Structure formats: C-alpha cells, structure tokens
Structure 1
Amino acid sequence: MNPVENRIISKLSDTFKPAHLEVLNESYMHSVPPGSETHFKVVLAADSFVGKRQVQRHQAIYACLADELKSGVHALALHTFSPDEWASSGAVPASSNCMGGSKHDHS
C-alpha cells in the first residue's frame, strides 16, 4: 500500500519502542508526482530521548532511516520528545506548504 511509510513506521517502532509515534506522508504538499513518498513528518516520543538534545535525537532517527534517506525520502520534519515532554505538551506545529520548485515564483 504505502511501502516507504510502512517501512519507516516499522523501523522507528523496532528501534525506539516509542511511547508515541506518528508518521505522516506530506509529499502531497510538495512539487512531486501524486502518490509519492518523499516528504514525511515524524512525531516520536521515546524513553531513549530522555536527557538528549534535539540534535542527538534527530541524528538517531537519521541513522535509523539512513537507507530510506538514500533511496527516495527527500525530507523529514522531526518532532521528538521524551515521554514526559510529550505528556505535558502533545502539541506539534502544523506543516506549511512547500514554496520551492515549481510552486514558487522567483520574480
């Protein structure tokens, strides 16, 4: 059905055993063909993020998804939390539409 999205969910679930996980395919918001799986938003709360800075959390996700990033995934919007941070916040900013490529007028 959505092989890339399913692989991302599986890998993140297996690696991080998340308290909360959302993987949203946001490719439709970008200048890509319909049905593409190139742009994703990931919301992940995991015990392994306790005491880690955002950059360390992001690096861990990039390492987990290295194969996907090499083979077609163009962008990840990462929102990472410890379980306590997620419980007290639970809020993720809405993604904006792409302004790059053919959707942006440079004149």
Structure 2
Amino acid sequence: MTATTIRQKLEEALKPELIEIIDHSAAHAGHAGNKKGGGHYNVTIVSQLFEGKSLVQRHQLIYQVMGDMMKEEIHALGINALTPSENSKGTI
C-alpha cells in the first residue's frame, strides 16, 4: 500500500517520464534504528521538473511531496532523481 501511495504522490506532483519504486522493507523489519516501523524504499524518478535543479533541490522536492509520510510510513528513502537528458545518457 505505501509503495502505491508513494507512486501516486510522485506521479501527481512531478509528472515523471519514468518512476521505479523498490520496497526493501522486509529486509529491514525490526532493526534497531527502526523502532517506530515504516518502510525502506528506493525510488528512481525521471522528471523534466528536475531540469536546472541541484541534487539537493531534487531531493528536497521529493521530500516535500512525501510530506507526513516521512514521519511514520517511510523510515528510509533512497532517491535517484534524474532529468530526461541525464537518463538518456545513462547518468547516475
């Protein structure tokens, strides 16, 4: 459910050309740093809205879209945020 919600929020806000979400939550369940719960996710997202933005600005934009989900539903979020031109060049 949370991965679906992440996808919906990012698609609505950032109109990505590509979005991939990988849920690693099962591998991290119950570890010491995750007392409140919440999932571990990796997101790769390609959006024209990242054009001209630094890596930090891209991440801030994604965290802003995720909003309150970062407090409980998401414990860790790995982000790979690319522009369409970076994606076509294979830039990571």
TM class by shorter-chain length? 0.7 to 0.9
* Deviation of the 1:37 alpha carbon: 5.4
Paired residues of 1:4 and 1:37 also in contact (CA < 8 A): no
Match of 2:4 among 6, 27, 35: 6
Looking at secondary structure, tell me which structure has more strand per residue. Answer: 2
| Residue 75 (1) aligns with residue 73 (2) | no
Cα RMSD between the aligned structures? Answer: 1.8
Residue 88 of structure 2 aligns to which amino acid in structure 1? Answer: A
Distance 1:27 1:90, change over 3 A: farther
Distance (whole Å) between structure 1 residues aligned to residue 26 and residue 54 of structure 2:
30
Asked if 1:23 is matched to 2:21, the reply is yes
Q: What percent identity do the matched residue pairs reach?
A: 31
Is 1:40 paired with 2:44? no
Q: Which structure: larger Rg? A: 1
TM-score (norm 1): 0.74
Aligned partners of 2:46 and 2:81: how far apart in 1? 6
Residues 1:90 and 1:37: Cα distance change in structure 2 (over 3 Å): farther
5+ unaligned residues in a row in structure 1: which ranges? 92-107
- TM-score, structure 2 length as denominator? 0.85
**Structure 2 residue ranges without an equivalent (≥5):** 32-36
Once the two structures are TM-superposed, the CA of residue 90 in structure 1 deviates from its matched residue by 6.4
| 1:86-105 pair list within 5 angstroms | 86-89=87-90
Is residue 20–residue 44 contact of structure 1 (8 Å, CA) maintained in 2?
yes
